[in-house]
Amino acid sequence: MSSVQNPELSNSKGMLTDVTKCIGCERCVEACVRQNKLPREFPAKFKSDDGLSGNRFTSIVKTDAAKADLVRMVRRHCLHCIDPACLAACLVGAFKKTPDGAVEYDADMCIGCRYCMLACPFSIPRYEYNEPLPYIRKCKMNDECRAKGGKPACVSACPTGATIYGRRKDLLEVARERIKSNPDLYIDHIYGEKEFGGTSVMYLSDTPLNETLKMPTKTEFDRLRVSSLAQKSIPSMVEPWVWVTPVQFVAVSSGLGVIWLYRRKKLLANQNNQDSNPGNENKGGDHGNR
Ligand code: SF4
Ligand code: SF4
Ligand code: SF4
């Protein structure tokens, strides 16, 4: 059953980041580093790349706005998808979606294939390339993250309330209410409500975030005439085609087997022919059998 319909997830938790409230102070990043006992050296602030790495599970990136007054600071971290592509791609089941909403990763099961990195539509998982025994690293949003009050440390540290934590359905209500009460400020869109089947981490903004969050725009999907795909999870899109690979394998193997049998039969027939007519040995032109 797809996680989207999974009743266990109906009370799942998530985060809502209101980009209009973020001042780019990076206290969320610092709190995450402290809580997860990550190395203290910080990447340069507001780098053009997204700043995530094997030892940074969240970062603050600048929107690439042409107008300076529309440049915003946006938190980037795992979106804890409702139907996660990383989970579907993992060969050994190292990921799981918990009823709490988090997509957790079990390093003990990981074989280092990095398929999860390829599968994630938001380019989130990072690999510890500098470690002798590397693992995948990403935001956890689990019990290990909780600071006092039961919220993730990054949320508790935010001085402006730019990121809040709670039940996903309550966060959606909050987001809708904010858009309704301030339509001149917000774009009428909750980033993560529906994209790729929906995510547990969502965003409100007054400037487009598609590029920053690596979410496709509706126009991009419309241009490809596949607009409905924007609301489907990657596993649900791939599922109908999963049968193709084994069928291809069986078809190709059977085809090769038939060709081999045909050629072998022909070879044996030629040999029998030559054995029974030794005088014709050179007439067939099969010099390779001499
Ligand atoms: S954002 Fe990427 S890493 Fe996070 S749950 Fe979704 S697919 Fe997995
Ligand atoms: S939820 Fe946890 S791992 Fe993710 S950014 Fe917050 S503190 Fe870091
Ligand atoms: S702590 Fe809050 S205001 Fe500061 S960078 Fe993080 S989300 Fe933005």
How much is the pLDDT for 200?
Answer: 97
Q: Could you tell me the pLDDT band of residue 278, with boundaries at 50, 70 and 90?
A: low
Pocket lining: 60 vs ligand 2, CB cutoff 6 Å? no
What the block records as the tokens of 161 is 């309330």
Q: Are 85 and 180 in a shared domain?
A: yes
Q: Are residues 184 and 252 in the same domain?
A: no
* CATH number of the domain where residue 77 is located: 3.30.70.20
**Does residue 21 contact residue 169 with C-beta atoms inside 8 Å?**
no
Determine the 3-state secondary structure of 104 from DSSP: strand
For 3, the 3-state DSSP assignment is helix
Same domain, 280 and 193: no
Residues 206 and 258 in one domain: no
Domain count within the chain: 2
pLDDT reported for residue 82: 95
Tell me the residue range of the domain where 176 lies. 3-240
Query: Does residue 171 sit in the same domain as residue 276?
Result: no
Which one-letter DSSP state was computed for residue 261? Answer: H
Same domain for 75 and 53: yes
pLDDT at 126 over 70: yes
Do 222 and 258 reside in the same domain of the chain? no
Pocket flag, ligand 2, residue 80 (CB < 6 Å): no
Contact of 188 with 176, CB cutoff 8 Å: no
Domain boundary, last residue among 204, 219, 240: 240
In this structure, the residue with its CA closest to atom 3 of ligand 3 is 22
- List, for residues 180-222, the tens digit of each pLDDT value: 999 999 999 999 999 889 999 999 999 999 888 888 777 776 6
What's the CA-to-centroid distance between 120 and ligand 3, angstroms?
Answer: 25
Ligand number nearest CA of 95 is 1
Looking at residue 224, its pLDDT comes to: 58
Residue 18 Cβ < 6 Å to ligand 3 = no
Looking at the structure, tell me whether residues 178 and 129 fall in a common domain: yes
Tokens of 236: 């649900």
Are 158 and 119 in a shared domain?
A: yes
* Residue 163 near residue 15, CB atoms below 8 Å: yes
CA of 269 to the centre of ligand 1 (A): 59
For residue 249, is pLDDT > 60?
no
275 in the same domain as 131? no
- Ligand 1 centroid to Cα of residue 140, in Å, is 11
Q: Is the pLDDT of residue 46 over 80?
A: no
What share of the chain has pLDDT > 90, as a percent?
Answer: 54
Mean pLDDT, the chain, rounded, equals 83
Same domain, 250 and 232: no
Ligand 3 neighbour 50 (Cβ under 6 A): no
- What average pLDDT score do residues 49-72 get? 85
Q: Does residue 58 line the site of ligand 2, with CB under 6 A?
A: yes
> Which residue did the predictor score with more confidence, 134 or 44?
134
Atom of ligand 3 minimally distant from the CA of 21: 3
**Same domain? 154 vs 264:** no
Distance 184 CA to ligand 3 centre (A): 23
Q: How remote is the CA of residue 74 from the centroid of ligand 3, in Å?
A: 8
**Which range among 45-59, 62-76, 125-139 shows the weakest confidence by mean pLDDT?**
45-59
